[in-house]
Structures are given as C-alpha cells and as structure tokens.
Structure 1
Amino acid sequence: MNRGPERAYLVAVEATKTDTVWSVEDSLNELEALARTAGAEVVGTMRQRLSHPDPATYLGKGRVQELSDAEMQLNCDLIIFDDELSPTQQHNLEKLLNARVVDRTALILDIFAQHARTREGILQVELAQLEYRLPRLSGQDLAFTRQAGGSRGATGGVGGAIGVRGPGETKLEIDRRRIRSRISELKENIEDVRKQRAIYRRQRSEQAIPVVAVVGYTNAGKSTLFNTLTEAGVLVENKLFATLDPVTRHIVLPNHQEILMTDTVGFIQKLPTKLIAAFRATLEEVVEADMLLEVVDVNHENAIEQSETVNEILEDLDALAKPRVTALNKMDLVDDPEDIDTSLYPNAVPVSALQNRGLDRLLHKVADVLADTMERVDVIIPYRKGDLVELFHRRGQIVHEEHQVDGVHIVGRLPHSLRGYYLSYAES
C-alpha cells in the first residue's frame, strides 16, 4: 500500500572554517528543493554551528540525540545530510538512528537515476552510484535491499525509496568482486561513448562549425533558452536536473554564420566528484567548445553564488578561460532591471527566454565574441570560386563585401582551420 511521499528531515553543519560563498540557510533551501525533486516531503530541518563536521557522526553527540528524538516524533523515513558523509559517519549514524541516512551526494545521484533516459546517461549514473556505494556496503547491503521494493532499477521507471534507486537494490546483493567487475565494465562502455563523441567532435571540427556550449546552474532556464533559440524540444520542467543528456542543434546567427549549440547538464554546488568523473564524456562537450553561453537566473536570490559555483566547476574542467557570453535570464520577473549589475558577468545580455525578449541581441553578442576567436582575412575570390564565397558566408563573419571586376572582395573573419582555403586569394 502506498503511504505517500517519504518524510525527510534535513540536517546541515554551519562550518566556521570554510571558504564557501553559500550560507547554511541557502544550502538547506537548495537541499529542500533537491529532496522535493526526488519525491520527498520535508518535515523539518536541523543545523549546528561547528568549526567542521564531526568526523564520527557529522553532528555533535548531543545534536544526534536531538535528531533521534525528532525523527521519532515526526515519523521520518529518512534523514538527509547536506554534505557527503564518510562511510564511517554514515555507519555510525545508521546505528544511532532508525530512519535511513542519505547524504547530499546520494540524493543527487538518486535524482540523476530518475532522470537518466538514454543508454549513455544510464551508464554514467550507474557507474557513479556503484562507486559511491562500494565503500559503504559493509553492514548495509541488506538494509538497502529490504527497503528497495518497487525500485526503478538501472533501466528507467519510477518508484522505490530515495537514495536507493538505480542499480542499487539488485547490485548490492552481490559481492564486492562482482561490483568491481561491473564498475570496470561500465568504465569500458563509457570510454566507448567518449571515443564516439571524440569522432563526432572531430567531424564537426573538420567542417569548421563553431560550437557554443550552454552552461549554467541547474534550473536557471538553460533548456527553455535552448529550446527558444533552436526549437529543439528539450524537456523543460521546474525541477532540478530535469534534463541530463546533451543535445546539439544547428542554428544560424543574425550575421548568417552557422554554429552548433549544445545544451549540457546543469551544475550545482557540492556536485559529487564521482558524478563529474562519470559524466566526463558528456562534460567534454564543454571542454571542447569554442565558447560558452552561460545562463544565469538573475531573479534568484543566490544568482551571484550560483554563477560562482559554475565558475568553480568550469575551472575544475579547465574551461574557465573560454570566451563566454552571459544570458541574464528571467528578466521578466525582475521588479527593477536597473538594479541588476551586469558588470558582474562577462559579456552580459539581459533576456527572458520564456517571453522571447532580448534573444536577438544575445545572438549578436555571441557572433561578436566568436569573431574575436577567429582570424582576420582580406581576400579577392574569383567569381568561378563561388563555393568559397558561400563557405565564407556560412562559416565566417563578413565585415565588408564588394563585387569587383576580378572577383568578390571580402574582408572578415574565419575559423583558423579554413584559413588555408583562402591564402592564395589574399590581398597583398
């Protein structure tokens, strides 16, 4: 009998020795949004101010007892901690509490398990979950199995308990050797995906079509903007991580230059390192892009912190220095647009993806920034080489074009890979 959503209690440590830009209040609010996205009902929260989380139980012992009392009074199904717990912390807490113990990493992995749709996404989520659970198997594999009735498994569907969806309920019944064997198999399969993506990117590179990767904090409106610009039909929901799999579409900029635009997975603070590693093949779309289009929910109270988190992840990916345009999205919800300091963001353009406002200006800015990445060319192309004139229009940016007696005089910019086609026609 279905008794409704699982009842979750949220717990966080406000560490005094930390360099995070997020307050514990903001972090807990986001954790609550994650819990709701996973399907839970949040019935309470607890926080404790410490120099750092207790290495044995995350909270101090007195607070753990308070947590146990609250758990019984509120009839909680699970306790969700706002940081990744060590195996020791999780084991100790499970002995002291009756409800299941889930940390932020397991919660995010659970959401990914619910939303993975393609074979690639399912493989990547399964790898991250198994690597997360392997050091935590001791003494809890049977508990996972008992509580996993109706779970979705690794192939899709809905149901089961938060934190144990995905490959868990069947995989946790087998021994460590077989789990490690499965991890190796998954890594090989994902490596095949990475190689296939590399071939695809090489083909795109040979065609000299610039690639713009859309990045941003989860739920900033990336998919809405992507759909509006490309008519891609990507799923749009008011949930965190509504889409996981990258989608690439061909579009034409206002100056008639062709580009490929790729929507990528949203970022989030404390994004599990195992998830970043598992999604390496997907995130390489960001690393290999010619430029980035960052989407910022400018109406969000933590817009600056979210953008800083995006910067931190881009730095981890060695992609921070890439040329970037920032779409300051959801301007339709801002009371006074003059209050928005656009200087905080690189090449910022205020837009409303939902209301299709400011998008033409955004695309012009993308074209301008892309132009700075290309080489200036001054050529006279003979009329018999009309295909090169057409290629220049499609792949490059034309500043000046004039039909002369001996050919078409073009001044503009081209991707470096196409420069060789025009060298013999360069103006001396």
Structure 2
Amino acid sequence: MFEVREKPQMVERALLVRLYFDPREAEESEALLEELGELVSTLGIGIVEKILVRSREMHKKFLCGTGKAAEIAELAKAHECDCLVFDNQLAPSQQREWERAADMTVLDREEVILDIFAKRAQTKEARLQVELARMQYALPRLARMWGHLDREGGSGGGMGGGAARGMGEKQIEVDRRMANVRIDRARRELEEVRKQRATQRKEREKMETPHAAIVGYTNAGKSTLLNKLSGADVMAKDMLFATLDTTTRKIELPDGQPLLITDTVGFVRNLPHRLVEAFKATLEEAVLADFLIHVLDATSPEIERFHETTLKVLGELGAVDKTTITVLNKIDLVTDPDRLGALRQLYPEALQISAFNGLGMEALLQRCSEVLADRVRRHRYRIPQSRADLLGMLHRDAKVLSTDYEENDILVTAVVPAAIAGRLEPFAV
C-alpha cells in the first residue's frame, strides 16, 4: 500500500546545504540556512554541519554542477551523515539524483516543513490539511520510495498487496491510483470540515461579535499573546510552528465590547505553496476577521524580512488590505537604545509589548477598542418591565453596564452594537 515515508524516524545525522546563484543573495541565503537549521532541529535530527554553496548557474540534474555535487556528497559521507537536507526546493528527479549520488536520504525544505506539520497537527482539520499536502508532495516522488515499482503483475491480485491489478499493470500505477484515491478522500473530508466552520462562522456573525485574527511569522509570540489577553492555555513554546490549529477566545475590551480573537498558524519564508493552499481553511480566519493583529519579534535581526513574508502570504490570501494593528513583541528583551530607535523609525505606528510579562496589554486593548469605535455606542434606555425580550437581547448581544428600577420601568445603561441599536431607539432616554 502507498505510504509516505517517516524520514525523521530514520535519520540521525544531517548535513544542511543551501545552493545560491546570485552573489547578492549570499546574506539572505545564510539567514535561510540558519532558519533551516531551526526547522531540522525541531524534528530532532542532529545537524553535523551547514554549508552555503554558490553555483554560477542552475543545472538540471543537481541544481549545481556535477563536480560540486560530488564534493557535497563526499563531505556528507566523511561526516558519516545519513541525511542531506537542502534549503532549496528540489524537483522529484533532482531528489532521486542526489540520493543516488550520496547514497543516503535527501530532503528539501518543503519536506522538512511537511514533516513538522505532520508531527504537530492535533485537530481533525489540521491532520487532513497536512495529509493532503503530504500526498500531493509525495505523488510525483513515488518512484524513489520503492524498489519494486517496475514489477508487473497479472490480474489475480496476489501480487497487488491487497489491491487488484490489471494485466501488465505496474505496482507504481497501483500506488499512484491509491494515492489519488486518498487525495480525493482527504479533499472531500476537508470540504466537510470547511462547511462546519462556515456554519460556526454564521453563528458568530448572528451574534454580531467583532473578530480579530493574530497573524505573524512563526515563533513571533502569537500564542503567548492570545494566552495573556484571554487567559487561555494554548501551547506556546520557543519553537517553530508550535501552533497549527486555530484557537478562538472571547475577551472584553475596555469599553465593554466583546471581541473574539483567533490565533493562526505562523508564516515562514519560502512557505510551500501547496501548504498555503491546504491551510486556507485555517488561514481564512485572517481573511474574514474584522481586523488583524500583526505580531513582530522585536529581537529578530531579520524583522523586516519577516514582516514582508507575512504581508506576502496575507496577499496570497486576499487579506493584505485589512485594518491591521502592528505590535513589536518581546520588546523587554531589546536593551540597545539604538536598536529601539531603529524599530520606532521602521514601525512608527506599532505598539511595543511583551506578551510574556504583560507589558503594553492595556494599550493594545485600547487600540482594539478604537478600531471598533464605530461599531458600538453607550446608551441609556427606559424599558417597560413587560418587555423582557428587549432586556434579554441587551444581556445577550450587548454589554450591560448598570440596571436600575423606577416604578414599572427598567433603566439600563449599556454598550450597544450598531446592529441592534435601531430596535432599541424608541426606548432611548
């Protein structure tokens, strides 16, 4: 039966490689190679060495020339590695050529990210999305995953491993067929999950509760921020892609207005397009939110590139033009005055916060209130006691600040969303 190999369970020592072709890309390539090291370490694979290799031109077989390829393969063997990990995206044929040349497992950046996602997915939706992305990645690579794929079998099905084959049908054809069946099934199940999310979203919209989505580069502190604002217990660790599943919590703003806040999966440079596609069901929370809270790691030397990456992914999702509150997280760890000044110059409108110790939370909540200021008004109503339905609506859909009784009337002061203010207007004091 077709199956994706669990390579992280098979390898222990890895040589990390990034190939680049333009001398102007050297600095960025070095940063990407360091990030690849963090990704690989997240899988628990030991890193023997990281090498940056410049090639004058891109070659079809190995990306680089055969001479450089031989040098890289020999270096990996000299270090007794059992895995080569490339920060570049390798075509299936290139992956096969590297495995033949080095005689060891070869991964690229996309496969590393997919394996991390597979280990971290918790909910049914996230698992389905990861399974779909892994299947789509593995389908053109089936030929390197098996050593028996060129065998042919008759129609008896005895050699089919549980799957009947037609006359002259090769095992690889059976496996491809089974992979396509699993891809179709995952897509159908994911569509059902998306329908359920749409139903839940409609229920939220009926309540007219405003919604914010926390977005940003992976490991910027999004889950920690949600935990601090809401008292939630979302897993927040110093690791890449600690959160794959969306979590929504309800909080109360300083003006008494309720707000739903959703934590989303982090972005990363060179995020495989198929992952963006697969996680659209999760990431569409950012598209449909009333506004975004963009979290930046103030301690990162590459904060500008991380900012650009997040905007690029939001652009792919159609959410780049949304009202956005930018926050510089971990600001308590920035002690260099020059660095602080540079950050203020780069992001003059950004709030400086620390999600870990709570610094700047009041200012952030106040900014959220300001963004939604046109959606709420504070009103005072005189409601007859016979109109318990109106009182119930206020308690359900608004924020009741005070209640007093005067003869047969109830005097209510409340923060009221614009959606229900019209129905209450005849009773306004």
State the alpha-carbon separation in 2 of the partners of residues 86 and 196 from structure 1.
36
Shift of residue 343 of structure 1? 5.1
Give the 3-state SS of the residue equivalent to 1:362 in structure 2. helix
* Secondary structure of 2:271 counterpart: coil
1:278 maps to what in 2?
278
Q: Give the drift of 1:279.
A: 1.3
Which residue is equivalent to 1:309? 309
What corresponds to 1:66 in structure 2? Answer: 71
State which structure, 1 or 2, has the greater radius of gyration over its C-alpha atoms: 2
For the structure 1 residues 397 and 14, does the alpha-carbon distance in structure 2 shift closer, same or farther, using more than 3 Å as the test?
farther
The partner residue of 2:37 within 32, 38, 48 is 32
Residue 371 of structure 1: how far off its partner (Å): 2.2
Q: Is the 8 A contact 2:20 2:26 kept in 1?
A: no
- Pair 1:81 & 2:83 matched: no
Whether the 8 Å contact between 2:136 and 2:183 is mirrored in structure 1 is yes
Deviations 1:31-66 (A, max 9, x none): 000010011111112222346643321222221011
Paired amino acid for 2:32? S
Q: What residue number does 2:383 align with?
A: 383
- The answer to whether the Cα contact below 8 Å between 1:258 and 1:394 also exists between their aligned partners in 2 is no
Comparing 171-180 with 107-116, which one deviates more in the overlay? 171-180
Match of 1:240 in 2: 240
Q: What whole-Å deviation, never above 9, does each CA across 1:118-147 have from its counterpart, x for those lacking one? A: 222211111110100101112333499xxx
Secondary structure of the residue that 1:127 maps to in structure 2?
Answer: helix
Deviation for aligned residue 1:333: 0.8
User: Corresponding residue for 1:331?
Assistant: 331
Q: Given residue 326 of structure 1, which amino acid in structure 2 is its aligned partner? A: T
Q: Using the alignment, how far apart are the partners of 1:392 and 1:52 within structure 2? A: 68
SS state of the match for residue 48, structure 1?
strand
CA distance in structure 2 between the partners assigned to 1:61 and 1:425 by the alignment:
82
Structure 1 Cα separation of the partners of residues 32 and 118 of structure 2: 22
Shift in Å at residue 340 of structure 1? 4.4
Q: Give the Cα–Cα distance (whole angstroms) in 2 for the partners of residues 331 and 390 of structure 1.
A: 44
Task: Tell me the distance in 1 between the aligned counterparts of 2:64 and 2:280.
Answer: 33
- Aligned amino acid, residue 88 of structure 1: S
Q: Structure 2: which 5+ runs fail to align?
A: 1-7, 150-170, 401-408
User: Residue 49 of structure 1: which of 50, 54, 57 is its match?
Assistant: 54
1:358 is aligned to: 360
Amino acid at match of 2:41: R
1:344–1:103 Cα change, 3 Å? same
- Indicate if the aligned counterparts of 1:215 and 1:293 stay in contact, CA closer than 8 A: yes
Q: Contact between 1:21 and 1:305, CA under 8 Å: does it hold in 2?
A: no
> Are 1:332 and 1:352, in contact at CA under 8 Å, matched by a contact in 2?
yes
Give 1:336 shift: 3.2
Q: Hey, what's the Cα distance between the residues in 2 that align with 1:360 and 1:386? A: 35
Say whether the 8 Å CA contact 2:143–2:172 is kept in structure 1.
Answer: no
Change (3 A) 1:397 1:118: closer
Distance 1:242 1:262, change over 3 A: same
Q: Is contact 1:378–1:426 with CA below 8 Å preserved after alignment?
A: no
Which residue identity does 1:215 align to in structure 2? Answer: V
**Which stretch has the larger CA shift, 380-389 or 281-290?**
380-389
Distance 2:288 2:243 in 1: 21
Q: 1:354–1:143: structure 2 CA closer, same or farther, 3 Å change rule?
A: farther
C-alpha spacing 1:203/1:347, structure 2 compared with 1 (3 Å) = farther
RMSD: 3.6
CA contact (8 A) 1:257 1:393 kept: no
Secondary structure of the structure 2 residue equivalent to 1:293: strand
The aligned residue for residue 259 of structure 2 is: 259
Q: 1:11 to 1:21 in 2, by over 3 A?
A: closer
CA contact (8 A) 2:208 2:417 kept: no
Give the C-alpha shift of residue 14 in structure 1. Answer: 2.3
SS of equivalent to 1:36:
helix
Residue 15 of structure 2 is aligned to residue 13 of structure 1: no
Residue in 2 that maps onto 1:118: 123
Counterpart AA for 1:16: D
Amino acid at match of 2:371: V
Distance in 1 (CA, whole Å) between partners of 2:97 and 2:207 is: 57
> In the aligned structure 1, how far is the partner of 2:277 from the partner of 2:39?
21
In the alignment, residue 178 of structure 2 is paired with which amino acid?
Answer: R
Where do 1:108-257 residues align within 5 Å? 108-142=113-147, 175-257=175-257
Using the alignment, how far apart are the partners of 2:415 and 2:66 within structure 1? 68
Q: Closer, same or farther in 2 for the Cα pair 1:119/1:92, shift >3 Å?
A: same
CA distance in 1, matches of 2:230, 2:378: 32
How far off is 1:173 after superposition? 11
The TM-score, its normalising length taken from structure 2, stands at 0.82
Quote the sequence identity (%).
Answer: 39
Provide the C-alpha distance between the structure 2 equivalents of 1:48 and 1:334, rounded to a whole number of angstroms.
33
Aligned length: 395
Q: CA deviation at 1:232?
A: 1.2
What is the CA-CA distance between 1:383 and the residue it aligns to? 3.4
